[in-house]
Structure 1
C-alpha cells in the first residue's frame, strides 16, 4: 500500500508542476483531476485528502467551461494541498517553543563558528521557549544585536575568523550605556583565560563541555539580573516604563536602522491633558494611579519594538523604529480614542494630546527631534487638546514600504503553503508583502524583481540547476546583502547543509517537514524585524 500511496502523491506533485507552467488551466480538467483524487485517495488510505477532494468536487460545476488563472487554481486547490502537506508534517515532533515572539520570552544570541554546537543549542533552548539567533560569523553578531535586541549573548572564545575576546570587547565598548549580559564559553578553562574574560567585562564564563541544565540556570540568572538592573536604573518606578535615561539607547536603535537601511522612524511626545486638575481635585495618589495606568496602557497598545519612556511628570515619549510618521499617527490616534473611553475609579476619565515628528537626519541630536515633536504637541493643545498633531515638516512625507518575499523551492506544495501563510501574516498599515515564487535558484538570482526593496528569501537547500547554498553564497557577496534575510529550508538529515548555511550567513533555518504553526511563527519573527 505504501508504494502506491507514494506513487499517488508523486502524481499529485507532477500535475501541479504541469499546471504551473501554463498561463491558464481549463476548469473541466481541474474537475476531472479532483474527481480522480476523491476516488483514489480514500481507496489508498489517504482519507484526509479524499474527504477534502470530495467536498471540493461537490461544490464544482462539471460543465463549467471557464479558464482558471494560476492564482485562482491555487486558491481552489489550497485545502487539498494543505491536507497533503499535513500528511508529511505528521512525522515531526511538536515545536515546544512559543509560536511567536510576544515580547516576554528571552532572546539569546549565540556566536560560535562550531555549527554543530549552534544547531544543538538552538534546538535545546528553543525547546524551553527561548528564541535563539545562531551566528557563525562573528562580524554579523554586532549587526544582529540591533536587529533582534537580545537579552544575553553566548560567545565562544576561539573562532577561526576572530576570537571571542574581540566580539566581547566590541559589545562592551559600544553598549556602555546599557547592561547587556555576556557569557563566554570555551574548552580552555585555564585561570588566565577566565581572568581575561572577566577583565574585558564578561558576566560569566562556562567551560565546555557543560551540563545543559546548569548552563540554562546560569544564563537565566543573567537574564533575570538584566531585567532587575533595568528596573532599578532604566525603569520608572511609578509607571514601569523606561525613564529618560533610556532615550540615548532608543535613539541608537533608530540610527542603526537608518545607517543600514535608510528606513524612517518616528518619535512622539505625549502629555495628559489638564493633569494638574486631576491632582488638585482628586489628590496626588489618584494622580499617581492615572500615570501608572497610562504607562501600562501605552505599553499594551504599541508594538513590542516601540519604546515607551516617561520623560517627566505627566509627559511621555514614544520612539517608533521602522515607522513612517503617518503610521505612528494612526497608532497614537487609535490609542487616544481608546484611552479617552477609560474611567478611573478615583479620577474619572482623562485624555491626552500628542505631537509627532519623523527622523530625517539621525546625525542630529535627539533634542532636535524632541523639540519638533514638542512643538507639534503645543499645536495639539492650542487646537483644543485630546488630539494628535504631526510636525509640519513631516506632514508631506509619504512612505509606502514594500517587503519582497521570495519563495525559492522546486516543490509546488511548499510554494503554495508558504505563499498562503505569508499572505495571511499581519502587517502594519502602509506595509505590503510582495510575494513571488521561483522553481529554482537561478531564476531567482536572474530576476530584477528583488533588486531594491528589503527581501525575505525562503530558500530550499536542494534544488535543480543551482542549490540553495550557492544562492545564499551569492547573496552574501552582494554589496547590498543586508537587504536580504534568508530562511533556509533543509531536510532533517542534512546537518552538513545546515552547518554550511550558518557559515554563509543564513538568518534562520528550518528542517522539512515542519509544523505549519512553527513555520508561521518563524516567518512572523523575521518579517517583524524587517518592518
Structure 2
C-alpha cells in the first residue's frame, strides 16, 4: 500500500476543519437555547418589561445575523437579518419609552412568529446533519507553543469568541478573552497587549464604553484597536474611527480577512515603533520610549507592589575610543554593548540608550542586590571577549554601572539621580565595576565660600536631574526652574553664577528670558549663560549670542563636553 505523506499545510487544514466542525456543533447547541427564548416572546404571553424584552430580542437576532454565516449557516443569517429589521426600533430610546411600546411589541411579535418557526425548522435540519461524534468531541488539539504578540478578544458571543481565540492561537498569537467591558478593563490594567479586537454591540456595557477607557489612559493610545460589528451603518463606522479605532470589520466576515487585517496592523505598529521608539544606531529603546514606559512600570508597581531596580551603565573611556579610532568604531562598540545587554537580560527588562555612551536598564521584580549580580555577570562577559571587531581588529571595553532600587517615597527624578550617582561612584572608584546606591555624598568637602550657584532652567525634569547628577561632584549648589518665567524670577531673586538655559520651553522660552533681561536691563552682571537647544540652525545660535549668551550647545550633547564647558564658564580647575 502506498504511503501518504502529509505536509504541514495539510495538517493545518485538517486542524482548521476540525475546529470549524466543533464550533458549528457548539453554535447549534447554544442557538437552540436562544431559540426557546425567541419562541416564548413570540407567543401569546406579554412580558412585564416590554422595552427590555424588545432590546433582548434585538440583541439575540443581531448576534445571529453576524455570527451564523461565519459558521456556514447562511440561511440562519438571512432569517436573522429579517428579524433585525422588525426589531430595529428597540434601539431608539424615544421609541421604547413611548406609551405605544406595548402595541408595537405585539405587532412585531406577530410579524416575527413565522420567521422564528422557519428558524426552528432550519436548526432542526442542521442538527440532524451534524451527527454527534464522541471521538471528535474528545479529541484535543495540541496548540503551538505561545509566541509572537499578545491579543485581547472582547465579545459577548461565547461561541464566536471561543472560535476566534482558538484560530488566533493556531496562528501563533498569545490570546486572552473577555465577555464584557468590565472584564476587559481588568485584563488591560493587568497586562500589556499588542492589539485589541472589540465587539461593538455587547450587554450590559456597550463597546463604546471601552473607547472612553482607552482614551483616558495615555499608555493605551498606541495599542491598535479593531472593531467587529454586525452593524454596517456608516454612522457607527465614522464614530468608531473618530474615537480611535484603527479598523472596522462588519460581521459576517471570513477569518482569513480578519487575520490579514490583524497582521497588517501589527506590522505597521512595529514599523512605527521602530521609527519612533528605537535608537537607530543600537536598536534598543530610545529616551522617548524610556520616559513613556518608566511611567507604565511605576503605575504597575503602584497597583501590585513589588521590587524594581534601575541601572545606569556608562562605557569606560569611550571618548578615547572615538578620538583614537574614529566615530564609526565608536558606533560599533555601542552596538556591541547593546547586543550584549539584549542577549543577557530578560524580555521583560527595559533597555534604553540614554544618550552618548550611556545606557539605562530597568529590571521589574528585581531587588538592587539581584540587579547588581545580573549586571556584574554582563560586565564579566566584556572581560572574556571583544564587543566589536573591524577588519580583523578586536575592540574590548569595560563599563561602570550604578544600581538603585525603587522606594515608594521616591520621585522619578530622584530615582534616576540615585542610579546615576552610584554610577559616578563606580567611575570615581576606578571604573570597571558595578556599585549600589548607598546615599553617601560624592565628591569632597569644599569651602562654602568657594562654591558656585548654577540655575538649570529646562521644562524636562528628568534632564534637569541628569545634569545635576553629572555636575554634583563639582563645588556647585543648584537651583531649578521648569519654565522661562520661573527662570527669570530666579535670576532676579538671588546670586546665580551660571544659568544653563533651555532655548525651547513652553510659554517664555530661553531666548525670551535673555531678551526680557536685555530690554529691562535686569541681567545680573556676573551671571554667565549657557544655552542648550535641540535646534541646530545657525540663526538660533547667532540669536542666542546676540542676546548675551556666553556659550551654546546643541542637544544631544556629550556630558563630558558639558562638564568641560561648565568648568570653563565657572573658571573651575
TM-score scaled to structure 1, two decimals? 0.54
Deviation by residue 1:115-157 (Cα, 9 ceiling, x = unmatched):
2222111110111111101122422333433543211111111
Shift, 1:96, TM fit? 4.1
The answer to whether 1:119 aligns with 2:165 is: no
Q: Tell me, what secondary structure is at the counterpart of 1:389?
A: strand
User: Which of 1 and 2 has greater Rg?
Assistant: 2
The answer to whether 1:209 aligns with 2:256 is: no
Shift, 1:310, TM fit? 0.6
Deviation by residue 1:273-331 (Cα, 9 ceiling, x = unmatched):
11111111111101101111211221121111111111101111111122222222222
> How far apart, in 1, do the equivalents of 2:438 and 2:185 lie?
36
Q: How does 1:318-329 map to 2 (within 5 A)?
A: 318-329=361-372
Matched-pair contact (CA < 8 Å) for 2:181–2:209 = no
> How far apart, in 1, do the equivalents of 2:186 and 2:295 lie?
13
Q: Tell me, what secondary structure is at the counterpart of 1:309?
A: strand
> How far apart, in 2, do the equivalents of 1:109 and 1:304 lie?
20
Q: How does 1:457-476 map to 2 (within 5 A)?
A: none
Q: Tell me, what secondary structure is at the counterpart of 1:262?
A: coil
Change (3 A) 1:154 1:326: same
RMSD: 2.3
> How far apart, in 2, do the equivalents of 1:284 and 1:277 lie?
10
The answer to whether 1:168 aligns with 2:247 is: no
* Residue 399 of structure 2: aligned partner: 352
* Residue 193 of structure 1: aligned partner: 236
Q: How does 1:35-434 map to 2 (within 5 A)?
A: 92-97=139-144, 99-101=145-147, 105-175=148-218, 179-343=222-386, 344-346=388-390, 348-361=395-408, 364-392=410-438
Deviation by residue 1:223-267 (Cα, 9 ceiling, x = unmatched):
111111111111110011111111233223322322222112111
Q: Tell me, what secondary structure is at the counterpart of 1:242?
A: coil
Matched-pair contact (CA < 8 Å) for 1:155–1:168 = no
Change (3 A) 1:289 1:391: same
> How far apart, in 2, do the equivalents of 1:360 and 1:292 lie?
32
Change (3 A) 1:177 1:125: closer
Matched-pair contact (CA < 8 Å) for 1:253–1:321 = no
Q: Tell me, what secondary structure is at the counterpart of 1:279?
A: helix
* Residue 404 of structure 1: aligned partner: none
Mark the runs of 5 or more structure 1 residues left unpaired by the alignment.
1-87, 395-531
- Matched residues, number: 301
> How far apart, in 2, do the equivalents of 1:336 and 1:307 lie?
18
Matched-pair contact (CA < 8 Å) for 2:180–2:203 = no
Change (3 A) 1:109 1:302: same
Change (3 A) 1:219 1:332: same
Matched-pair contact (CA < 8 Å) for 1:355–1:391 = yes
Structure that is richer in helix per residue: 2
Higher RCO (CA < 8 A, seq sep 6+): 1
Change (3 A) 1:92 1:393: farther
Matched-pair contact (CA < 8 Å) for 1:250–1:319 = no
Change (3 A) 1:373 1:177: farther
> How far apart, in 1, do the equivalents of 2:396 and 2:218 lie?
41
Q: Tell me, what secondary structure is at the counterpart of 1:345?
A: strand
Matched-pair contact (CA < 8 Å) for 2:194–2:224 = yes
> How far apart, in 2, do the equivalents of 1:178 and 1:233 lie?
14
Change (3 A) 1:202 1:184: same
Change (3 A) 1:263 1:286: same
* Residue 411 of structure 1: aligned partner: none
* Residue 130 of structure 2: aligned partner: none
Change (3 A) 1:290 1:142: farther
Matched-pair contact (CA < 8 Å) for 2:402–2:437 = yes
Q: Tell me, what secondary structure is at the counterpart of 2:330?
A: helix
Matched-pair contact (CA < 8 Å) for 1:353–1:385 = yes
TM-score scaled to structure 2, two decimals? 0.50
> How far apart, in 1, do the equivalents of 2:235 and 2:372 lie?
55
